[in-house]
Amino acid sequence: MSTSTSIRIDQTLYDQARSEAVSEHRTIAGQIEYWAKVGRAALDNPDLPVSFITEALASLSEPRSEATPFVPRSAQKPGRA
């Protein structure tokens, strides 16, 4: 079960989160939490592009039952380049 904590943030940031939350189908709190996760991951992995981080976070939230299993490429057949 998740707990909540009230915090104060700048009104402009709140308004931006509200606007973005609508288009991303998140709550305002969910949008700010998402930004925090992306920011934390970006700070922890400065060599990764933000687009990679956002895609990785999105893939982690998808149900495992809908995931495509990884299948490594088989060794190339002789005579094929």
In a domain, 2, yes or no: no
Residue 15 forms part of a structural domain: yes
Structurally, the chain folds into a number of domains equal to 1
Q: What is the DSSP string of 12-78?
A: HHHHHHHHHHHHHT--HHHHHHHHHHHHHHHHH-TTS-HHHHHHHHHHHHS-GGGPPPP-PPPPPPT
| pLDDT computed for residue 77 by the predictor | 57
Q: Which amino acid is at 24?
A: E
> pLDDT digit string (tens) for 20-79?
999 999 999 999 999 999 999 999 999 999 999 999 998 888 788 877 788 888 755 555
Q: Which domain holds residue 38?
A: 11-61
**Is the dihedral angle over the CA atoms 19, 25, 30, 34 positive or is it negative?**
negative
As a whole number of Å, the end-to-end CA separation of the chain is 54
